[in-house]
Every structure is written in structure tokens, then in C-alpha cells.
Amino acid sequence: MASSSIGHVTIDCADTFTLGNFWAAVLGHPLADDDLPGDPEALLRLPEGPALLFIAVPEGKAAKNRLHFDLTPDTSREEEVERLLALGATVHEDHRRPDGRGWVTMKDIEGNEFCVERSQAERDAWNAAHAAE
């Protein structure tokens, strides 16, 4: 049976280098060496899964994303939200629950929505604490 694989997830944006560097900092991997300010595209290769390709477009973001990233941090969700705020992201909607579950919807520096979920360690701790219920 024939099939395809995803080579890139392409993100339209105003400034490929700046947005690419934001996501490079979020994901902990650098942009390609030949990406420079003002380039019409920038590439962020990841060790697993498809690369992120940032493409300059003239129009701005006009509506809610139809596709977004759900980030699972290697630290706590709260620590990751604080780190992302320091990188320039903003909180869009807070869906954290008093019992520790939930997520935070954020926006990157060009207004694209993404979510920060609990870490695997936080999920495991919650499941262990509630296993007897």
C-alpha cells in the first residue's frame, strides 16, 4: 500500500528568522546554519518527526489556528509556562484545574496558538495518587 510521510510542518509568518528562533528556543534546537534575518524561509530540523519550515507571507494571522502544537515539557507545566513567557509568548487561555490537570493555551510572538500540557512526570504522579479511586 502506498503512503506518504510528513517532511515539514510549514508555518506562514511575517518574520521567518525571528519566529524560527523563537521556536528554536522553545524546542531546544537551532535553526539551520544558512538561515539569516530577512530570508523568505527558515528551517528548524528536529531530531524526531518532521522539521518546522517557516515561510514569509504578506498577510497577517486572521483567525484561530486550525492546527497547533501541544507541548509536553521535561520540567513542570508551570516552569515551562514561565520559561515561554520569558521568551515572549503570552497566555491566551488558562485551562489548569485545581486538581493539577489541564493545560495552558499560549500564543507565540506572532499570535499562533499552542498548548502547554503537564509533563509525563506530573501525569504519572497524578495517576499514582488517584489509582485507588
CA distance 91 to 52: 22
Which domain does 48 fall in, by range? 8-60
34 and 89 co-located in one domain: no
Sequence-separated (6 or more) residues with CB below 8 Å from residue 64: 113
Residues 62-103: tens digit of each pLDDT: 888 889 999 999 999 999 999 999 999 999 999 999 999 999
CATH assignment at residue 20: 3.30.720.120
Residues 2-59: tens digit of each pLDDT: 888 899 999 999 999 999 999 999 999 999 999 999 999 999 999 999 999 999 999 9
CATH assignment at residue 82: 3.30.720.110
3 inside domain: no
**What is the count of structural domains for the chain?**
2
Sequence-separated (6 or more) residues with CB below 8 Å from residue 85: 91
Give bridge partners of residue 51 from the DSSP assignment.
8
What is the predicted pLDDT for the residue at 3?
87
